[in-house]
Homo-oligomer: A and B are copies of this chain.
Amino acid sequence: MKVTIQDIAKAANVAKSTVSKVLNDSPKISKETKTRVREIMEQMNYTPSSIATRLAKRSSHNIGMLIDMARESEYMNPFFLNIISGIESVIGPMKYELTIANMQQDDPERNVINRLVRSGRIDGLIANNAIMSEDMVKTLNSLDFPFVTIGEFHSFPVPWADYDNAEGGRMLTGHLLDEGYRDIAFIGGEPLERIFTKRHQGYRQALLEAGIPYREDRTIHGVADENHGYQAVLELLRSDHPPDSLVCMNNYSAFGALKAIQQAGIAIPGEIGIATFDDYPFSPHTNPPLTSLFIDTFQLGATAGRMLIEVMNQPDLPYPSLLLQPKLNIRESTLKRKAGLE
């Protein structure tokens, strides 16, 4: 039924090793033979079995992307396709494929590693730093298996690509300061969450540079969803001197904050300013439009892809890592407070 290399060999009256060499454009085959064999392939509509090729070549030509779908759904949804597209844009032209795998929270890591890595399904792995445990890193390293994390990884030297979250925190906070805000709260993020610590660090840095003392009670920890943003603002508003502005961990938490502030009848940006990380495609459309920190997630994916290829080709390279710079999109939600102060 399906036409194989044997059929081609028979039809062309050559050995199948010769056909294989034609497929790989070996210099040991004459021009004439090549064109003849190729014509026959064309005629017989032959496509080599990639499975067989991979077995023989001992390479799956497949890149794995590992995510925790249930958990990341909220957070990555708006960007996921961009990241994937970015990865594909670099690995696709190199004839690699992309396999998306789900890692459930209850999945013992060994399981994932076995299923994907040791079984030879993939040649390299890209994963969010959130699901990359240290154990997993150790196991991957012990197998000499190439991988890159999306998101900075501090506890270990591994190759990673990320946006500069600390700088982002500085930019957002600095922008609010520039606009005349002085009492800036930080909403969302768990204390031990990696991405939170970086962002928060930039926030503190900007305050420090502006000579404004950091206040513990101005950071409202939590999962950074809409509900938390909402509750956080309610909590802040209960105090005698609520902050005059907010930096939110992401758009959802900013939405919650927005809602709470509006319900309280407080003017944005008149009385309170809001800036947020992660410029989701809809943040220009809120009321008022949200000043937010844009991250080119396509670039992030592409960078991770490039790094992975690099690591795969030169396994002995020192761990590369790359910080991309975010971009501040200034919108109405942080319009000058100065005006009101004067």
Residues of B within 8 A of A97 (CB): 99, 101, 121
A270 touches B (CB below 8 Å): no
Interface string of A97-139 (1 = CB under 8 A from B): 1111110000000000010001111000000000000000000
Interface string of A72-101 (1 = CB under 8 A from B): 110011111110110011001000011111
Residues of B within 8 A of A255 (CB): 282, 284-285
Shortest distance between the CB of A44 and any CB in chain B (Å): 12
Asked, given contacts A50-B121, A285-B282, whether A84 binds B69 with beta carbons under 8 Å apart, the answer is: yes
Shortest distance between the CB of A234 and any CB in chain B (Å): 17
A287 touches B (CB below 8 Å): yes
A280 touches B (CB below 8 Å): yes
Interface residues of A in 34-60 (CB under 8 A from B): 47-52, 54-55, 60
A325 touches B (CB below 8 Å): no
A281 touches B (CB below 8 Å): yes
**Cβ-defined contact, A60 with B51, below 8 A:** yes
Complex formed: what's the CA distance from A258 to B92 in Å? 39
A251 touches B (CB below 8 Å): yes
A70 touches B (CB below 8 Å): yes
Instruction: State the main secondary structure of chain A at its contact with B.
Output: helix
Residues of B within 8 A of A141 (CB): none
**Cβ-defined contact, A47 with B121, below 8 A:** no
Shortest distance between the CB of A112 and any CB in chain B (Å): 12
**Cβ-defined contact, A47 with B114, below 8 A:** yes
**Cβ-defined contact, B55 with A81, below 8 A:** no
Interface residues of A in 273-305 (CB under 8 A from B): 280-288
Complex formed: what's the CA distance from A257 to B207 in Å? 40
Shortest distance between the CB of A121 and any CB in chain B (Å): 5
Residues of B within 8 A of A281 (CB): 77-78, 252
**Cβ-defined contact, A102 with B85, below 8 A:** yes
Residues of B within 8 A of A99 (CB): 62, 97-100
Complex formed: what's the CA distance from A70 to B84 in Å? 11
Interface residues of A in 213-266 (CB under 8 A from B): 251-252, 255, 258-259
Residues of B within 8 A of A92 (CB): 102
Residues of B within 8 A of A259 (CB): 285
Complex formed: what's the CA distance from A76 to B85 in Å? 12
Asked, given contacts A55-B52, A80-B80, whether A47 binds B118 with beta carbons under 8 Å apart, the answer is: yes
Residues of B within 8 A of A251 (CB): 282
Residues of B within 8 A of A60 (CB): 51
Shortest distance between the CB of A72 and any CB in chain B (Å): 7
Asked, given contacts A55-B55, A80-B80, A81-B73, whether A50 binds B119 with beta carbons under 8 Å apart, the answer is: yes
Task: In the A-B complex, list the 4 residue pairs whose CB atoms are closest, starting with the nearest.
Answer: A287-B287, A282-B282, A47-B118, A69-B85
Known: A50-B119, A51-B120, A51-B121. 19 other contacts (CB 8 A): A49-B120, A50-B121, A51-B54, A52-B55, A62-B99, A69-B85, A72-B81, A77-B80, A77-B281, A78-B78, A84-B100, A98-B101, A99-B99, A251-B282, A255-B282, A259-B285, A282-B282, A282-B285, A286-B286
Sample (10) of A-B pairs whose CB atoms are under 8 Å apart: A49-B119, A52-B55, A72-B81, A73-B85, A77-B82, A81-B81, A84-B100, A97-B99, A282-B283, A282-B285
